[in-house]
Every structure is written in structure tokens, then in C-alpha cells.
Amino acid sequence: MTDAHRDPELHERLERIERLLEPAAVMRAAEHDIVEPAWRRITTGEPRWSVSLAIIVAIALQYVLPATLTPRPRWLLPVLELAVLIALFIANPGRIDRRSRSIRTATIALIILASIANASSAARLVWTIIEGRDGQDATALLGTAAAIWITNVIVFSLWYWELDRGGPAARAHGVHDRPDFMFAQMMSPEVAGNDWEPTYADYLYLSFTNATAFSPTDTMPFVTWAKMTMMLQSSVSLVTLVVVISRAVGLLN
């Protein structure tokens, strides 16, 4: 009789080791160890509702602005943006996982329209303040600037969201494994878990922190286009805030 049969505890340990060494158990352990994080593999895609809501907010903010700060006719750009948004929702209403050149072209066209509308409003606001035609109401001035600044955050978040690794559909299909933006969760996968992948909320947070800190915070740009776009956003945000706040302080005094 062997020592294992005489010692029940030793016998139980040997049986446990044998089970662990079975081919099926070894395969399960190997699969668990080599599973890549969600942002590097094929996933179901993110829901469309969050980015659609952000675009609707940006369109609504355009109507809050004074008529003198919006391109003429005032209704044209918002109507075009809303029409493209509805078309995108009809083409891919659920999760954004359909790779289509026409859908991506329409999405970029929508972002361009929003960018033109807000850039025009921001430029007109700054020029109006420089020429002294902004009136004497500091509250109205700050409200107008806030609407433009918030829209600016949304517009740049859409650019980051659409251009990073080929867009949301390409990210869902795991087409590109090299990130344009390195999020904190990518640098600490053991903390974030294998199911984490960036969604629109992450790009909105990236845009907000870049517009307030005027520099990257917890997300690093890894490619040239990302660095230049973040630099442009910081510059626009800085000029808008400095000009508007200085003028508002002067009016309040």
C-alpha cells in the first residue's frame, strides 16, 4: 500500500492535481490567460443613444444663441444636422457595429456641419467683444459663451470618437489594435478588466478635461492627428474663456 492510500489528505491532493492536469482543464486555464481585453477584440459595439443625445444637445444649444452669432439662414445647419442624425439612426438604430463607408461618411459630414456652426458662432462672439458690440449684459454674455463652450466640447468629443482607431464600428470589429488614444484602463487592464472598451462617454470626458485643463490628463494622444486636434481644442477653449471672462469681469465692475 502506497503512502497516498495510507494518507487520505495526500490522496485527495493527488486527485486534485490529476484533475487540473486533464486536457480540458488545461485548455480552460489557457483560454482564461490569453483572453485579450475587449478594446482589442471583436465586440457587440456600443449603443447609439448616448452619442445621439449629445448631438441633439448640441443642436438645441445652437438655437439658444443670439441670431447675430449664428450663420444665416439660422435654421439651415441645425435642420441639416438633424436630418443626417435621423438618417444615421434609421440606417443603424441599435448598436454601432455595421461597417459601412456611406454611414461613416454621413457621420463625418454631420460632425463637420456641427463644427462649422459652432466655429462660426465662437468667431463672431470674439469679434463682437473686440469691437465692443456685445452690449452691457454680463449675464447674457456668459450664458452665450457657456452654450458655445459646451457645444465645442461636444463637437471635439465627436471627432475623437469617430477618428480613434477608424471609428466605433471598426473598434467593434477589432480592426486596429494600436490605439490613437491611450486610456488609463488600457494601461491598467488588470484593474479595468477584460470587458472594458472605450465608448462615447470616455471621449466626452477626454474632450471636457482637455478643454478645462488645456492639456491631456489621464488619456494620452499617441498619434499626430490626435495631438494636433487636442492642441486646436485647447487653443479655441483658451481664447474663448479669456476673452469672454475678461469682458464679463469688466462689465460687472
- pLDDT value at position 32? 47
Q: Residue 202: what pLDDT?
A: 96
Task: Give CA torsion, residues 102, 108, 110, 113, to 10 deg.
Answer: -130
By 3-state DSSP, what share of the chain in percent is helix, strand and coil, each rounded to 5? 70, 0, 25
Residues 50/154, Cβ–Cβ less than 8 Å: no
Question: Which residues are registered as beta bridge partners of 47?
Answer: 95
Q: How far apart are CA 239 and CA 211, in angstroms?
A: 11
4-6-9 Cα angle (round to 5): 60
Give pLDDT, residue 4.
46
pLDDT of residue 248: 82
Distance CA 88, CA 93 (A): 7
The identity of residue 100, as a single letter, is S
> Which of 155, 156, 152, 176 is CA-nearest to residue 226?
156
The pTM assigned to this predicted structure is: 0.82
pLDDT in tens, the chain (253 residues): 555 455 666 666 666 556 555 555 444 444 444 568 888 888 888 999 999 999 999 999 988 888 888 888 888 888 889 999 999 888 888 888 888 899 899 999 999 999 999 999 999 988 888 887 766 778 888 888 899 999 999 999 999 999 999 999 999 988 888 899 999 998 888 887 888 999 999 999 999 999 999 888 889 999 999 999 999 999 999 988 888 888 888 777 6
Reading phi first (left if > 0) and then psi (alpha if -120 to 50, else beta), residue 135 is in left
Amino acid at 161: W
Q: In a 10 Å sphere around its CB, with 0-12 CB exposed, 13-18 middle and 19+ buried, how is residue 212 labelled?
A: middle
Residue ranges covered by each domain of the chain: 3-34, 38-252
3-state secondary structure 76-133: HHHHHHHHHHHHHHHHCCCECCCCCHHHHHHHHHHHHHHHHHHHHHHHHHHHHHHHCC
Cβ–Cβ < 8 Å for 197, 171: yes
Closest to 203 measured CA to CA, from 192, 214, 211: 211
C-alpha grid cell, residue 33: 490567460
| Res 15: pLDDT | 61
Angle of helix 200-213 versus helix 224-252 axis, rounded to 10: 50
Model pLDDT, residue 10:
63
